[in-house]
């Protein structure tokens, strides 16, 4: 049976979890931005140096994410040291990029509902160094 390009893309999907294109189609830009906005209120995992105005630092991080929002798009990266609990170094993982700047990519994975960061200048050759948590934590890493 001959498959259309769309069917082939939908079948190729995530390395783990639902097909990526299907997930992206279900999650509208509005839904992704809403999830990001609600998650930006989580600050417990963000390290703030001694002597730094915590409220200002957190507000600046949030504002920087807002300035660097992009139209959500699928992106993949190779896991780098120290890796993720469920993904060994070298494995390819995917997500939806929500914000990016100068080699830094804020990524959302609908399954398992988490934010992480990818690093690299070339969108086709990114690394995922095992940093995940709140969007503010990821952006500050």
Q: Which of 60, 47, 24 is nearest to 133 (CA)?
A: 47
Q: Per residue in 97-132, pLDDT tens?
A: 999 999 999 999 999 999 999 999 999 999 999 999
Q: Which of 78, 134, 73, 129 is nearest to 98 (CA)?
A: 73
- Number of structural domains, the chain? 1
Q: Which of 33, 30, 120, 37 is nearest to 75 (CA)?
A: 120
- pLDDT, residue 27, reads 76
Q: Which domain holds residue 88?
A: 5-140
Distance CA 119, CA 72 (A): 17
- pLDDT, residue 121, reads 95
Residue numbers in the chain where pLDDT is lower than 70: 1-26
- pLDDT, residue 11, reads 27
- pLDDT, residue 26, reads 55
């Amino acid at each position: 049976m001959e498959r259309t390009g769309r069917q082939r893309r939908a079948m190729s999907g995530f390395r783990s979890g639902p097909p990526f294109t299907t997930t992206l189609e279900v999650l509208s830009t509005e839904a992704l931005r809403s999830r990001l906005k609600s998650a930006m209120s989580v600050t417990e995992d963000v390290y703030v140096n001694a002597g730094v105005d915590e409220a200002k630092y957190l507000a600046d991080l949030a504002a920087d994410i807002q300035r660097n929002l992009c139209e959500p798009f699928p992106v993949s990266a190779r896991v780098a040291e120290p890796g993720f609990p469920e993904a060994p170094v070298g494995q390819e993982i995917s997500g939806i990029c929500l914000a990016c700047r100068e080699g830094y990519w804020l990524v959302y994975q609908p399954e398992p509902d988490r934010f992480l960061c990818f690093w690299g200048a070339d969108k086709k050759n990114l690394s995922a160094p095992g940093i995940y948590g709140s969007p503010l934590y990821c952006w500050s890493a």
